[in-house]
C-alpha cells in the first residue's frame, strides 16, 4: 500500500473516474464470460472441471501479475510501484491487517459459492444469457439496504425490482418454458452469495489502515481469489467425474490461453469494480457495470459469425429471441431507473465551538458521498445521494443531527447541474 503523501492530484474529476471504473468493470466482465463460454464450447466440455483448472490457473496468473505490479519505479523523483497507476492505494504485494483480512475471508467463501453456481450454468448458456443473470444481485443489494435502514421501499424501487426480476425470468426462458433448476440456482446461491461478496468487499475497501490510506483493490483481489479457490475446490472435487481428470490433462494446452484471457479480464474487472465500490453505493456501482448486459447480445451474435457455435447455441426461433431481448431491455430499464431516480443534495454543517475533527465520522454515515471541511460560516460541506427526499431526511440528516458536536444543519437540494 502506498503512502498518502505520494499521491498526485488526479487530472480527472472524481465523478468521471467513478464512471470509468464502474462501466469499465462491466466491459471487462463481458470479455471474461466470453472467454469461458468459448473454451467450454470448443475445448472443454465439463464446466465444473474447467472451472477448477481455470481458477487455479487464475491465481497463478494473478500472483505473477501482482508481482509485476509491485516492481518499483521512479516518477518525478518519487518511488512508486507499477500498480500505483491501477490503484493509488497499492504499494506492493502484502498481507492485509487482521480486520480487512477477515472480511476478505468471508468474501472469498461466498465468492466460491457464487463461482461454483456460475460454472454450473455457463456450460449450458451463452454470454447474452449469463450476463443478465448476474444483475439480479442488484435486487439483493437494494433489499439489504432497506432492511439495514429499516425503511420502506419507494415506488421507483419497487418498479425497479419488478422490472429486473421479470427481465431475468424472460432471459432464462427456453423452448420448453422456464428452466426451474436454473432459476433456483440464479436466485439463491449465485446472486445471494454475490450480494454478500459485494458487501464485504465494500467494507474492506472502505477500511482505513491509517488516516487517508485505505486497503488497495489489487491485494484484495489476490487474497479473495485464494479463499475463493479453496471454497470452490471443496465443492468441485467431489462432483468432478473420474474421466474429467484425464480430460483436464489432455486439453490443458488448448484451453490454457482461454484461461489466461479470462484471468486477466476478471482481474481488471474486479479491481475496477472494487475501486468503484470505494467511491459509490453498491446498487449504483452494479447498475453502471450492467453495461455488460447490453454487450452480451452483440458479442454472442458477432462471435458466432466468425466461430459458429463457440459463443453458445443461438436458437433460430425469432419469437424466443424477441422474448430474450425484451428481457434484457427490462433489466436495463430497471438498473438505469434505479440510478436516474437518485436525489442529490448539498448539506452545510455547523459545529459547536471548540469541537475536534468529525470529518471521518460524517463520511462514515451511509449515503454521504463526499465530506469536506470548509472555512467560513459553516464548518463542513457534505454531498449526499438518496432515492427520495424522505430518505434523505430520515436516513441521512437525522444521523448527522445525532452527532453531539453538530450545532446546525442546512440542506440544499440540487435541482439541476452541469458537469
Q: Hey, what's the cell of 28?
A: 471487462
The answer for residues whose C-beta is within 8 angstroms of residue 75's C-beta and 6 or more apart is 84
**Residue 78 to residue 169: CA distance in whole angstroms:** 53
Q: What are phi and psi of 88, to 5 degrees?
A: -60, -15
What is residue 171's predicted lDDT score, i.e. its pLDDT? 75
**HSE (CB half, 13 Å, CA atoms) of 393?**
4
Nearest CA among 135, 126, 91, 106 for reference residue 224: 106
Geometric angle at alpha carbon 17, from 11 and 19, rounded to 5°: 150
For residue 327, what pLDDT is reported? 83
- Answer for the pair 22, 289: CB distance below 8 angstroms, yes or no: yes
Say what the pLDDT of residue 128 is: 65
C-alpha span between 410 and 384 (Å, rounded): 13
- 137 burial (CB, 10 Å; 0-12 / 13-18 / 19+) is buried
Nearest to 57 by CA among 69, 46, 49, 68: 49
Distance CA 153, CA 156 (A): 8
Contact between 198 and 141 under an 8 Å Cβ cutoff? The reply is yes
Q: Which residues pair with 410 in a beta bridge?
A: 348
| DSSP assigned state of 51 | H
* Contact status, residue 370 vs residue 189, Cβ threshold 8 Å: no
Q: Give residue 4's pLDDT.
A: 45
The stretches in the chain having pLDDT less than 50 are 3-10
Spatial CB neighbours of 254, under 8 Å, sequence gap ≥ 6? 43
Contacts of 295 (CB under 8 A, 6+ apart): 26, 27, 30, 131
Phi, psi of 172 (to 5 degrees): -85, 5
Are the C-beta atoms of residues 369 and 191 closer than 8 Å to each other?
Answer: no
Which DSSP string do the residues of 331-363 spell out, in sequence order?
HHHHHHHHHHT-EEEEEEEEE-TT----HHHHH
Q: Supply the pLDDT for residue 5.
A: 46
Spell out a b/e string for 7-38, using b for 16 or more CB atoms within 10 Å of the CB, else e. eeeeeeeeeeebbebbbbbbbbbbbbbbbbbb
pLDDT reported for residue 3: 47
**pLDDT at 164 (0 to 100):** 80
Q: Catalogue all structural domains in the chain, each as residue range(s) with its CATH number.
A: 4-340 (no CATH), 343-413 (3.30.70.920)
> What does the angle CA 295 – CA 269 – CA 367 come to, to the nearest 5 degrees?
95
Strand 380-386 and strand 343-351: the pairing is: antiparallel
Cell of 1: 500500500
For 59, 197, 301, the CA distances from 221, given in Å and listed in that order, are: 10, 12, 32
Amino acid at each position: 500500500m502506498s503512502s498518502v503523501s505520494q499521491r498526485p492530484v488526479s487530472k480527472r474529476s472524481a465523478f468521471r473516474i467513478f464512471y470509468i471504473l464502474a462501466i469499465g468493470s462491466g466491459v471487462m466482465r463481458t470479455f471474461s464470460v466470453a472467454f469461458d463460454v468459448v473454451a467450454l464450447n470448443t475445448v472443454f466440455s465439463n464446466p465444473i472441471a474447467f472451472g477448477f483448472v481455470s481458477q487455479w490457473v487464475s491465481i497463478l496468473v494473478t500472483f505473477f501479475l501482482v508481482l509485476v505490479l509491485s516492481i518499483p519505479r521512479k516518477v518525478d523523483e518519487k518511488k512508486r510501484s507499477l500498480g500505483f497507476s491501477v490503484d493509488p492505494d497499492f504499494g506492493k504485494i502484502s498481507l492485509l491487517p487482521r480486520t480487512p483480512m477477515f472480511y476478505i475471508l468471508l468474501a472469498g467463501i461466498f465468492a466460491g459459492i457464487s463461482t461454483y453456481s456460475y460454472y454450473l450454468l455457463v456450460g449450458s448458456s451463452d454470454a447474452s444469457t449469463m450476463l443478465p443473470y448476474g444483475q439480479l444481485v442488484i435486487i439483493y443489494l437494494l433489499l439489504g439496504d432497506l432492511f439495514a435502514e429499516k425503511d420502506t421501499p419507494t415506488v421507483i424501487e419497487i418498479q425497479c425490482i419488478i422490472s429486473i426480476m421479470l427481465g431475468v425470468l424472460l432471459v432464462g426462458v427456453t423452448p420448453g418454458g422456464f428452466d426451474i433448476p436454473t432459476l433456483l440456482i440464479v436466485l439463491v446461491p449465485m446472486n445471494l452469495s454475490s450480494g454478500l461478496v459485494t458487501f464485504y468487499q465494500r467494507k474492506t475497501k472502505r477500511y482505513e489502515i491509517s488516516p487517508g490510506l485505505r486497503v488497495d483493490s489489487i491485494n484484495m483481489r489476490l487474497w479473495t481469489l485464494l479463499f475463493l479457490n479453496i471454497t470452490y475446490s471443496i465443492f468441485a472435487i467431489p462432483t468432478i467425474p473420474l474421466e474429467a481428470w484425464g480430460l483436464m490433462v489432455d486439453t490443458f494446452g488448448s484451453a490454457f490461453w482461454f484461461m489466461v484471457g479470462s484471468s486477466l479480464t476478471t482481474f481488471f474487472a474486479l479491481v475496477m469494480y472494487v475501486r468503484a465500490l470505494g467511491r459509490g453505493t453498491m446498487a449504483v456501482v452494479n447498475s453502471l457495470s450492467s453495461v455488460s448486459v447490453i454487450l452480451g447480445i452483440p458479442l454472442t451474435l458477432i462471435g458466432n459469425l466468425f466461430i459458429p457455435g463457440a459463443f453458445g447455441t443461438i436458437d433460430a426461433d425469432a419469437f424466443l429471441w424477441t422474448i430474450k431481448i425484451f428481457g434484457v431491455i427490462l433489466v436495463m430499464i430497471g438498473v438505469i431507473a434505479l440510478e436516474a431516480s437518485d436525489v442529490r443534495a448539498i448539506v452545510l454543517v455547523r459545529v459547536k465551538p471548540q469541537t475536534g475533527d468529525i470529518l471521518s465520522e460524517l463520511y462514515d454515515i451511509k449515503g454521504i458521498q463526499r465530506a469536506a471541511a470548509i472555512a467560513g460560516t459553516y464548518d463542513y460541506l457534505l454531498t449526499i445521494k438518496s432515492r427520495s427526499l424522505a430518505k434523505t431526511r430520515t436516513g441521512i440528516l437525522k444521523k448527522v443531527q445525532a452527532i453531539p458536536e453538530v450545532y446546525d444543519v442546512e440542506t440544499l437540494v440540487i435541482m439541476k447541474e452541469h458537469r
